[in-house]
Amino acid sequence: MHNFDFNTVNEELFTFLNASPNSFFAVANIANTLIAQGYTQLSEGKPWQLEIGKGYFVTRNESSLIAFRVPALNCEIAEASKAEANYNGFQIYACHCDSPSFKLKYNWEIVAAQKYLKLNVEKYGGMIMSTWLDRPLSVAGRVIVETEKGVESRLVNIDKDLLMIPSLAIHMNRDVNEGYKWNAQNDMLPLCGSNLVQGDLKNIIAEAVGVEPKDILDTDLFLYNRMPATIYGVEKEFIASGRLDDLQCAFAGYKGFLEAEEAPNSIPVYCLYDNEEVGSGTKQGAASTFLKDTLQRINSALGKGQEQYLMALANSFMVSADNGHAVHPNNVDKSDANNRPFLNEGIVIKYSANQKYTTDAVAGALFRSLCKKAEVPVQVFHNRSDMLGGSTLGNISGNQVAVKTVDIGLPQLAMHSAYETAGVKDTAYLVEAVKVLFSTSLVEEADGKYSLK
Ligand code: ZN
């Protein structure tokens, strides 16, 4: 086994989690890391010219990102012409960067009892609402401002304890512990200030992005939990943070992508999608053409035609990474009898007979083979047969780009809480597995017969 440096991996993970209150920031942080490592940013609206041996990335809506490298391919010399360069297929890792939260409505100020100023918000995704109560919150996202040339997006994070959604005292809601139905419009509006400060939040945001309030045309602003990531447990076994689903997999994926040794003939692709929590059906979500468009443009830029593209898809493999449910200490019987993962016991392969998860025997076996090579533990998740599970982006993305796909994740507790728990070891395991994924080429010798080189 490796000597895993769990501490360093968790420190890096925490830096990423704390700096990524939502998808816009996750994408910006990863883009900055890629630029620092010499990657070139491509624009979907401009022509692409790719050079052998170089790394690239492209973003869509500032909230989804795809990064890839053009490896040496099978050319003997680095300056080989495009026509000589032949590639085998794509090794793809896909995950998501959005998490459930509350989004500010366009007219976000509401005065209550002529004394309080509240923010009018609506749900984004399916959060456990009660976990957002009684904890310091703030606002982050993007602001679209009017400039002399047109309109321009600017990211903003009001980096201070700004808001709170106070619980109702038990004296005024005696039945709260008997099961309470939270109402998003009545119960979940954060307290922002007194009625005397109307317009202040807009002023604060305008100042933060360096414009006059009148120049703000529109916003995508979300609440986020201010509590930073931490380690807990008598032997420091656990990590906790907001947004572990799915920033833990997003982080492990790009760290593994950056650290992987090159597979000579396959193109490593790291794919970070927005909007998984609301069904993936946006222009930048997993159901969109973003991945397909990107792969086709890579293929064309390498001077290849349609047949080469289809051959490449047959020789491609996708790891769809989204966190899974570990056995819960107070609800052990919610998990399957013997297909149930635990924290710190490795990467979870997810199965579902109705293909909510895409894993089949071939994809499962290929992934197990990679993990064996990486010397990392794997475990298994099935839902109880009498329980409906969630779905993820693997099967959705497969409608646009049909490649062999395994659905995996890291085991966690309290999924979609404002503060989730996972294991201290599992992120490092996934980093190692991703390194092996990207340093391997898959070749489909025939349907049902595959080699991993
Ligand atoms: Zn997820």
CA of 323 to the centre of ligand 1 (A): 6
Q: Which two tokens stand for residue 239?
A: 């990590």
CA trace torsion 254, 255, 259, 264 (10° rounding): -20
C-alpha 166 to ligand 1 mean position (Å): 27
pLDDT at 363: 96
Going from the Cα of 415 to the center of ligand 1, the distance in angstroms, rounded, reads 8
Phi-psi region of 280 (alpha: psi -120 to 50; beta: other; left: phi over 0): left
Would you state the structure tokens that stand for residue 6, as one six-digit string? 């769990």
Using the mean position of ligand 1's atoms as its centre, give its distance from the Cα of residue 302 in Å.
Answer: 34
Strands 116-124, 64-69: parallel, antiparallel or unpaired by DSSP? unpaired
Distance 255 CA to ligand 1 centre (A): 18
What spacing in Å lies between the alpha carbon of 79 and ligand 1's midpoint?
Answer: 42
CA of 22 relative to ligand 1 center, distance in Å: 13
One digit per residue, the tens of pLDDT, for the chain of length 453 reads: 678 999 999 999 999 999 999 999 999 999 999 999 999 999 999 999 999 889 999 999 999 999 999 987 765 444 555 555 678 999 999 999 999 999 999 999 999 999 999 999 999 999 999 999 999 999 999 999 999 999 999 999 999 999 999 999 999 999 999 999 999 999 999 999 999 899 999 999 999 999 999 999 999 999 999 999 999 999 999 999 999 999 999 999 999 999 999 887 899 999 999 999 999 999 999 999 999 999 999 999 999 999 999 999 999 999 999 999 999 999 999 999 999 999 999 999 999 998 889 999 999 999 999 999 999 999 999 999 998 877 788 888 888 899 999 999 999 999 999 999 999 999 999 999 999 999 999 999 999 999 988
What spacing in Å lies between the alpha carbon of 95 and ligand 1's midpoint? Answer: 8
Which pair of structure tokens corresponds to residue 83?
A: 């026509």
Ligand 1 centroid, distance to 393 Cα (angstroms): 8
> At 36, phi and psi to the nearest 5?
-65, -25
Distance CA 184, CA 355 (A): 32
Rounded to the nearest angstrom, the distance between the alpha carbon of 445 and the centre of ligand 1 is 34
pLDDT of residue 84: 53
Taking Cα atoms as reference points, which of 100, 130, 105 lies closest to residue 118? Answer: 105
Helix (H, G, I), strand (E, B) or coil at 282: coil
Query: How far is ligand 1, taken at its centre, from the CA of residue 242, in Å?
Result: 12
